[in-house]
Amino acid sequence: MTFSIHGLPVSRGIAIGRAVLVASSRVDVVHYFIDADQVTAEIVRVRNGRNAVIEELQRLQAEMPPDAPHELAALLDVHLMLLQDEALVSGVKHWITQRLYNAEWALTTQLEIISRQFDEMEDEYLRERKADLEQVVDRILRHMKGVAASPVAAPPVAARRQPAQDLLLDDKVDVPLVLVAHDLSPADMLHFKRSVFAGFVTDVGGKTSHTAIVARSMDIPAVVGARAASQLVRQDDWVIIDGDAGVVIVDPSPIILAEYGFRQRQGSLERERLSRLRHTPAVTLDGQAIELLANIEQPADAAAAVRAGAAGVGLFRSEFMFMDRSGPLPDEEAQYLAYREAVEGMQGLPVTLRTIDVGADKPLDKSHKDTHLNPALGLRAIRWSLADPAMFRTQLRAVLRAAAHGPVNLLFPMLAHVSEIRQTLAQVELARAELDASGTPYGPVQLGAMIEVPAAALIVRSFLQYFDFLSIGTNDLIQYTLAIDRVDEAVAHLYDPLHPAVLRLVADVIAAGHAQGKSVCVCGETAGDVAMTRLLLGLGLRSFSMHPAQILAVKQEVLRADTRKLAVWAEQVLASDDPAAMLQAAG
Ligand code: PEP
Ligand code: MG
């Protein structure tokens, strides 16, 4: 029966496909696709894990003292029986061979399916066996952890679509797949980045959570904050994701499918039309040249930025290279090579490299949960870097070295205090001195500060004494100005880029920067929102950084704009206590 679930639209377009559920309860389980030639090894990994647990339980049984409670023996029997259950064994095998899930993912997927069957049982005793099943699966997972293969990036579509001998007999492999999960960490998203998924749905998350940002960078329809989606959707259900409206339609009727199929085709035609603007210079009707830059997460993204006609990279979120790693952070050489790859990939166009911004919704290691009460107000971004100067300087040296290969700007996240600015700049000096001492070549960099905290916006003139350029991180600036957790869907309705206080801060920063002849960019999600383009132009913004997929749509707005008229209108919007209504009235 058709039903729909409402969430927040985070990445536009329509996706139609079968649901792939990522088990929610076990966030520490890695999810990735294996290559077809790894199927047997993966099945063996689960089998070995299961056999180890069986042996463990049998040993416990054998060693049980005669006076042990009868219930304990019965419980061990039940666990042993569950472990040998055909539905578990054959189900896991199915997900590995037919869908190429890694062993842990296959195991938790099958657990979820059997759990639901338990939930539907009339008999209370049987219903309660679900907890036992979860325990045995946990035991298997723990046994497998020691011998787990390291996660690999999901294979590209082409590789996955290759017929893998007779393993992929199931024709379902060739239908589009959409991912449904309770939550996905940004690191999970990176694994899936070059995968087959046509769309995403998560139960939690806000519009500018980093999971949503990565979804947007993949340019596939996505809905977050869809509350119980991962409970209501079942493995393999047909699902429509409407990324424009933030709606997920489950088990659609043929009429609904036809309607959305039509809208999907309209969307592709619109994109095709926009692609003709790729080589058109971004100049307004009154002759103002506008810089349209790309936000990237990995060096390999540079290619998409160039393809989209970006004038450079306005924000390289370097922390994504540090996330989800087991073992130490990448050393100076590894970082240097990665930054150099991005710089060379941009073919002479500038790259703005932001130093590591971990913390809050970007944990370094997803198994390490941030236990601080308010992680967004805690040790994140520049605070984290300054707390570990040796690590910070490793990154700075790597960036300075990469700057020998092309134009590089160095950008610092979340500064709020002048003392932080001084410490940061002292570390840059020290990093240069270290490179000088070792005779290592490096290049010049422009230094920039992100304006992400209201305090920084309010003392922007002090910032301008120290920096060559500014970049407004509206995602955080909105979060901190309005005291709205950007990740929390419960307060997402209050997250408002058009709040007069936010607009006032943005306008003041742009004006202060320009008054001193310094460049000001907006690199938060508002820069890529076509509904905001005219207002930002009217406020004087001339540099926008966004996901490559949004560049052409924003360029279309730029080409239609007259900044002289927009400046007058923007003044009125700024003075209004209901800017949203004014934007709506302007159409
Ligand atoms: C921002 O806060 O607007 C920004 C660009 O940084 P991030 O989204 O990575 O926090
Ligand atoms: Mg930020």
Q: State the DSSP string of 415-451.
A: ---HHHHHHHHHHHHHHHHHHHHHT-----EEEEEEE
Q: Is the confidence at residue 27, as pLDDT, over 60?
A: no
- Render pLDDT for 471-496 as a digit per residue (tens, 0 to 9): 999 999 999 999 999 888 889 889 99
| φ, ψ dihedrals at 280, nearest 5° | -75, 130
* CATH 3.20.20.60 domain position(s) in the chain: 279-585
Q: Alpha-carbon distance 551 to 310, whole Å?
A: 7
Environment class of residue 102 by beta-carbon count within 10 Å: exposed (0-12), middle (13-18) or buried (19+)?
buried
- Mean pLDDT, range 7-15, rounded to an integer: 91
Q: Of residues 143, 191, 210, 547, which has the active-site annotation? A: 210
Q: Would you call 493 a catalytic residue per the annotation? A: no
Top mutation candidate among 355, 475, 485 for ligand 1, by most atoms within 8 Å of CB: 475
Using the 8-state DSSP alphabet, how is residue 158 labeled? H
The structure tokens listed for 487 are 């990740």
Question: Mean pLDDT in the chain?
Answer: 87
Q: Alpha-carbon distance 329 to 319, whole Å?
A: 10
- Which numbered atom of ligand 1 lies nearest the CA of 315? 5
- 284 CB neighbour count, 10 Å cutoff: 19
Judged by its nearest atom, the ligand closest to the C-alpha of residue 487 is 1
DSSP-H helix ranges across 240-372? 254-275, 302-307, 332-345
Q: How confident is the model at residue 69 (pLDDT cuts 50, 70, 90)?
A: low
| CA 378 distance to own-chain centroid | 20
Range with top average pLDDT, 134-143, 322-331, 557-566: 557-566
Q: Is the confidence at residue 71, as pLDDT, over 60?
A: yes
Confidence (pLDDT) at 156: 33
Confidence (pLDDT) at 443: 98
The structure tokens listed for 145 are 């952890």
Half-sphere exposure of 21 (CA within 13 A, CB side): 24
- Does ligand 1 lie within 6 Å of residue 361's CB atom? no
Q: Is the confidence at residue 358, as pLDDT, over 80?
A: yes
**Dist. CA 118 → ligand 2 center (Å):** 44
The more confident residue out of 359 and 401 is: 401
Q: How confident is the model at residue 141 (pLDDT cuts 50, 70, 90)?
A: confident
- Render pLDDT for 159-195 as a digit per residue (tens, 0 to 9): 333 322 222 233 344 678 899 988 876 666 766 666 6
pLDDT above 70: percentage of residues in the chain:
89
Confidence (pLDDT) at 132: 79
- 572 CB neighbour count, 10 Å cutoff: 12
* CATH 1.10.274.10 domain position(s) in the chain: 38-145
Confidence (pLDDT) at 302: 95
**Dist. CA 203 → ligand 2 center (Å):** 23
Q: Would you call 523 a catalytic residue per the annotation? A: yes
Q: How confident is the model at residue 31 (pLDDT cuts 50, 70, 90)?
A: confident
Q: How confident is the model at residue 221 (pLDDT cuts 50, 70, 90)?
A: very high
The more confident residue out of 108 and 345 is: 345
Q: Which parts of 132-196 are beta strand (E)?
A: 177-181
Using the 8-state DSSP alphabet, how is residue 319 labeled? G
* CATH 3.50.30.10 domain position(s) in the chain: 3-23+174-272
Residues at Cβ < 5 Å from ligand 2 ion: 452, 473, 476
C-alpha distances (whole Å) from 414 to each of 317, 450, 457, 472, 546 are: 13, 6, 11, 10, 18
Confidence (pLDDT) at 21: 83
Top mutation candidate among 211, 380, 450 for ligand 1, by most atoms within 8 Å of CB: 450
Confidence (pLDDT) at 313: 98
Q: Is the confidence at residue 389, as pLDDT, over 50?
A: yes
- Render pLDDT for 530-545 as a digit per residue (tens, 0 to 9): 999 999 999 999 999 9
Q: Is the confidence at residue 551, as pLDDT, over 60?
A: yes
**Dist. CA 473 → ligand 1 center (Å):** 5
Q: Is the confidence at residue 28, as pLDDT, over 70?
A: no
Nearest C-alpha neighbor of 543 from the set 516, 523, 565: 523
Fold observed for domain 38-145:
Enzyme I; Chain A, domain 2 (1.10.274)
Q: Binding site residues for Mg(2+), as ranges?
A: 452, 476
- Does ligand 1 lie within 6 Å of residue 474's CB atom? yes
Fold observed for domain 279-585:
TIM Barrel (3.20.20)
Least confident window among 46-55, 155-164, 387-396: 155-164
N residues, the chain = 587
Q: Alpha-carbon distance 579 to 319, whole Å?
A: 34
Top mutation candidate among 355, 357, 545 for ligand 1, by most atoms within 8 Å of CB: 357
- Does ligand 1 lie within 6 Å of residue 475's CB atom? yes
Burial call 341-351: b when 16+ CB within 10 Å, e when fewer: bbbebbeebbb
- Does ligand 1 lie within 6 Å of residue 473's CB atom? yes
- Mean pLDDT, range 347-352, rounded to an integer: 98
Confidence (pLDDT) at 23: 61
The structure tokens listed for 13 are 């377009």
- Mean pLDDT, range 513-524, rounded to an integer: 98
- Does ligand 1 lie within 6 Å of residue 91's CB atom? no
Of the candidate CATH numbers 1.20.1250.20, 1.10.10.10, 1.10.760.10, 3.50.30.10, the domain formed by 3-23+174-272 belongs to 3.50.30.10
Q: Alpha-carbon distance 541 to 510, whole Å?
A: 6
- 322 CB neighbour count, 10 Å cutoff: 19
Tell me which residue has its CA closest to atom 4 in ligand 1. Answer: 473
DSSP string, 213-251: HHHHHTT--EEE--TTHHHHS-TT-EEEEETTTTEEEES
Q: Alpha-carbon distance 441 to 92, whole Å?
A: 53
Confidence (pLDDT) at 370: 60
Q: Is the confidence at residue 274, as pLDDT, over 50?
A: yes
Burial call 530-563: b when 16+ CB within 10 Å, e when fewer: eebbbbbbbbbbbbbbbbbbbbbbbbbbbeebeb
Confidence (pLDDT) at 540: 98
**Dist. CA 326 → ligand 1 center (Å):** 25
The more confident residue out of 467 and 54 is: 467
Q: Are 293 and 314 in contact (CB under 8 A)?
A: yes
The structure tokens listed for 186 are 């940004």
Tell me the pairing of strands 238-242 and 313-317: unpaired
Least confident window among 175-179, 254-258, 272-276: 175-179
